[in-house]
């Protein structure tokens, strides 16, 4: 990979770190504390949140008709999502060891923390958990697919790819036959021991 591209990627990583720092600052402003992966709010913050809570009865009886109509359709999607989840898990557990690829850890893809928000009623918390599962599944799928792509065909496309996964920028340029043959094995080796590499980067 050329130096200018490395510099751009380094700046992107720096901006992402700054973004995370700013998001943490905003969380701190709401006095949200993390303890053993659980979120805790100060009593005054909780009381302030509860003032904005809509009762479950009012939430259901005042629901927009279009929302009520779409609810069964939305929740029916849980069936294909569970099937996809199972298929992805079976695939990576059977195939990744054969390719010597580190398996994707589920805990790195799913985040369920909105249940701690006092301004949400029970149904809203269920809805949030459902969305978190769906988006976590999308992240799980993307990470498994991107590791598979890096192993078998780490080549950039000729056209611009919108919403490319995080590994894409490190792939070989489109049309670079020599680079593909030279870098394929190295890109495959990068997929081994990913968990240990990520832990080391966090410590640094």
Confidence of residue 204 (pLDDT cuts 50, 70, 90): very low
Q: Which of 3-7, 72-76, 197-201 has the lowest mean pLDDT?
A: 197-201
- Domains of the chain, residue spans: 52-203
Q: Tens digits of per-residue pLDDT, 49-92?
A: 777 788 888 888 988 999 999 999 999 999 999 999 999 999 99
Average pLDDT, integer, range 122-146 = 96
CA atoms of 153 and 168, how far apart (whole Å) = 11
Tens digits of residue pLDDT in 8-55: 767 777 777 777 777 667 656 555 555 545 555 656 666 777 777 888
Residue (of 20, 192, 198, 36) closest to 102 by Cα position:
192
> Residue 51: its pLDDT value, please?
78
Q: Can you give the pLDDT at residue 117?
A: 85
Q: Which residues of 93-107 are buried (b: 16+ CB within 10 A; e: fewer)?
A: eeebeeeebbebeee
Strands (E) located in the chain: 32-35, 38-41
Q: DSSP characters for 57-112?
A: HHHHHT--HHHHHHHHHHHHTHHHHHHHHHHHHHHHHHHHHHHTPPPPPGGGT---
Most confident among 2-11, 25-34, 135-144, 185-194 (mean pLDDT): 135-144
The continuous run of DSSP H or E covering 122 comes out as: helix 122-152
Assigned token pair, 175: 């049309």
* More reliable by pLDDT, 83 or 195: 83
Assess whether pLDDT exceeds 50 at residue 184: yes
For the residues 97-102, what does the mean pLDDT come to?
95
pLDDT at 201: 52
């Amino acid at each position: 990979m050329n130096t200018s591209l490395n510099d751009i990627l380094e700046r992107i990583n720096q901006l992402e770190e700054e973004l995370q720092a700013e998001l943490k600052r905003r969380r701190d402003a709401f006095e949200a504390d993390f303890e053993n992966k659980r979120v805790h709010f100060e009593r005054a913050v909780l009381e302030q949140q509860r003032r904005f809570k809509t009762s479950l009865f009012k939430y259901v009886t005042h629901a927009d008709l279009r929302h009520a109509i779409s609810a069964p359709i939305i929740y029916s999607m849980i069936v294909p999502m569970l099937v996809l989840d199972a298929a992805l898990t079976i695939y990576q557990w059977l195939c990744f060891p054969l390719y010597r690829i580190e398996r994707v850890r589920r805990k790195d893809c799913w985040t369920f923390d909105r249940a701690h928000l006092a301004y949400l009623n029970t149904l809203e918390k269920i809805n949030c958990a459902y969305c978190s599962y769906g988006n976590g599944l999308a992240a799980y799928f993307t990470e498994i697919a991107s590791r598979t792509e890096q192993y078998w065909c780490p080549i950039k496309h000729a056209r611009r790819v919108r919403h490319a996964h995080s590994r894409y920028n490190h792939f070989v340029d489109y049309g670079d036959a020599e680079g593909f043959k030279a870098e394929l094995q190295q890109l495959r080796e990068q997929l081994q021991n990913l968990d240990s590499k990520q832990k080391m980067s966090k410590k640094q």
